[in-house]
Chains A and B, each alone.
Chain A
Amino acid sequence: MSAPTLAVDRLTHRYGEWIALDGVSFEVEAGELFGLLGPNGSGKTTLVKVLATLLHPTGGSAAIAGRDVVRDRGEVRRRIGVVFQQPGLDLQLTPRENLRHQGHLYGMRGEELSARIELQLERMGTAGRADDRVKTLSGGLRRRVELAKGLLHDPAVLLLDEPTVGLDPGGRRELWDHLADLRADSGATSLVATHLMEEAERCDRIGILDRGRLVALGSPDELKRAIRGDVVALDSADPRGLAAAVEDRFGLEAVVVDGAVRLEIEDGAAFVPRLAEAFPGRIDSITVGKPTLEDVFVHETGRPFEERTAGRGRPEREPEVEEEPGAPATPVEGLLP
């Protein structure tokens, strides 16, 4: 068996007292599109920074193409392409100039560099705007130029930290189409950090991060199948009271998530009449659904994925150090090997 393209072993990172990464281990095989799913502050950015050699982890290790990210920093840098959450293009330069600059940083020049630039611009569908200043390009186009920039030196692994932040749904979809094409056409290996379920769905495998811990690892389908049956959500004026009552009556685990009572049950549809019968007038609505990745997260952590009230309007830029989460993570038995 060949060595994994990317291997993370019991990786731990502390910022002072706060543990940003807590013993994270996983591997990414060549040709895989791997997603790192987690809410804000779960440690995604820290992990990407460690892999990108910008941060020395305080414990554990990580290797890319068999090279340790701390000891063989230079070797690792040659083998990774990074697209950060923050835009990394020079707005005053054109896409072509940005790529030329990037190529020179990686020691490429002349004809070979020009050929690679043309190839990447073409591939990302940005060739038509290659000589306009980046500041005149749309957000989606800029991101694709960044992707071209990250791919210019033909890296073994492409690391992307929230690459679709600030893009509209159309722009997001387009970027993911490009990522998928990339894997299909050239077998590229990518690790993408995201907080969006629909993006994680498009990955071959995902790791779910919560408060610095990896709480689940597998393909999206595998993870969802692990929740047997259906997820039933009950809206109620008194969700806490109802949850307690459901637990009493049926001996099921009922969790309040986002103001709704949430149950996992084998056959949701058959259970609905029993619920309605048992709690007349206390339930406003009942929803039965197949488990989603969000349910996987709730299943593993007992908490909602992200505060809905705060909405999707996350800040454009995360601070260097991710927000400190409140209580330490409770150990959960998950699907970890």
Chain B
Amino acid sequence: MTAALLPAATLWWREVVRFYRDRSRAISSIVTGVLFWLLFGFGLVDSFAPAGMPADVGAVEYLYPGIVVFIVLLTAVVGTFSLIEDRRQGFLQGVLVAPVPTGAIVLGKVMGGTTMALLQGVVLLPLAPLVGIEVTAGGLALSVLALFLVAFALTSLGFVLAWRMESIQGFHGIVNLLLMPLGILSGAFFPLAGAAGGLELVMRLDPVTYGLSAFREALYSTPGIEPIGPWLAWGVSIGFAAAAFGAAVLLARR
């Protein structure tokens, strides 16, 4: 077991060090996210009352959990660019010839990306009281867990998509086509309850919807604030994370 954990840990450590040494990346994604949130929130403040939410939840408050999940999603996906870079620069080849189980390599890389994404989400959590959300200690733990699941699942998914990619440009296309809709349709920007029938169905097929649901309910500690029940939200989120990671391992093993 340790034979697999040490390599995984060192791969994870490398991602963290690289991220820390390239702080501009982290700062810019947080600033973008916060700006997005403030612009949309205050732009929509009088024209948007989220459907299915308690009457006192306005646009700014509604968008807050959505933006947090959206930033986690974006960071997770952008983090997997490093896989393409590693391949192009030749670093990956050196890792692949080492006597390390493939699962450990995938775990190290995915945990690295997950850590970055999770951190990006967690630094935004202190803003919750500012928008009027009182988070309990238990709720905070569960919110972090929900963000972790979203980060882990999307990093794994990004890994799957990036594994065969030769260029970052090609990956950008996939991100726009496939991963952005996962974020946009998750209920981050508009609620499930207010969407037209067909779109609502599509939103229910988006696994990130369940992650956001779990996160929102954990923040508020109020079951039922989301149309999706907690069991379903957590169940799908865990299943999605496990499936995406499994797919990444299978793919890397060829």
Interface residues of A (CB under 8 A from B): 52-54, 74, 77-78, 80, 82, 84-93, 97, 100-102, 104-107, 109, 149
Contacts and interface: CB of A to CB of B under 8 A. Distances in A.
Most B CB contacts (10 A, CB to CB) among A52, A102, A105 go to A105
Interface residues of B, number: 23
B21 A92 contact: yes
Contacts of A104: 6-7, 9-10
Chain A interface, DSSP helix/strand/loop, else mixed: loop
Contacts of A52: 97
Given A74-B99, A92-B17, A106-B99, 9 more contacts: A82-B93, A86-B89, A87-B90, A88-B93, A101-B10, A101-B11, A102-B94, A105-B100, A107-B99
Contacts of A90: 14, 18, 91
Contacts, number: 66
22 contacts: A52-B97, A53-B97, A82-B94, A84-B94, A86-B90, A88-B90, A92-B17, A93-B14, A93-B17, A93-B18, A101-B10, A101-B11, A101-B14, A102-B94, A102-B98, A104-B6, A105-B7, A105-B10, A105-B11, A105-B95, A107-B3, A149-B94
Contacts of A101: 10-11, 13-14
B96 interface: yes
Contacts of B96: 54
Interface in B84-112: 89-91, 93-100
Contacts of B3: 107
Contacts of A53: 97
Interface of B: 3, 6-7, 9-11, 13-14, 17-18, 21-22, 89-91, 93-100
Nearest to A75: B99
A97 B18 CA distance: 11
B104 to A, nearest CB: 9
Contact of B93 (A77, A78, A84, A91): A84
Contacts of B7: 104-105, 107
A77 B97 contact: yes
Contacts of A91: 89
B93 A106 contact: no
Contacts of B9: 104
Contacts of A80: 97
A104 B94 CA distance: 13
B6 A54 contact: no
A271 to B, nearest CB: 50
Nearest to A90: B91
A80 B93 CA distance: 14
Given A105-B7, A107-B6, A54 B97 contact: yes
Nearest to A87: B90
A77 B22 contact: no
B93 A54 contact: yes
A100 B6 CA distance: 11
B252 to A, nearest CB: 13
Closest 8 CB pairs of A and B: A86-B90, A104-B10, A88-B94, A77-B99, A105-B98, A78-B99, A88-B90, A105-B7
Contacts of A149: 94
B164 to A, nearest CB: 12
A101 B95 CA distance: 10
A64 to B, nearest CB: 12
A97 B91 CA distance: 14
A160 to B, nearest CB: 13
Residue of B10, B95, B97 ringed by the most chain A CB atoms within 10 A: B97
Contact of B90 (A77, A84, A102, A106): A84
Contacts of B18: 90, 92-93
A109 B90 contact: no
Contacts of A77: 97-99
Nearest to A77: B99
A89 B85 CA distance: 12
Contacts of B14: 90, 93, 101
A74 B104 CA distance: 14
A306 B93 CA distance: 28
Nearest to A150: B94
A92 B16 CA distance: 11
Nearest to A82: B97
Contacts of A100: 10
A189 B129 CA distance: 65
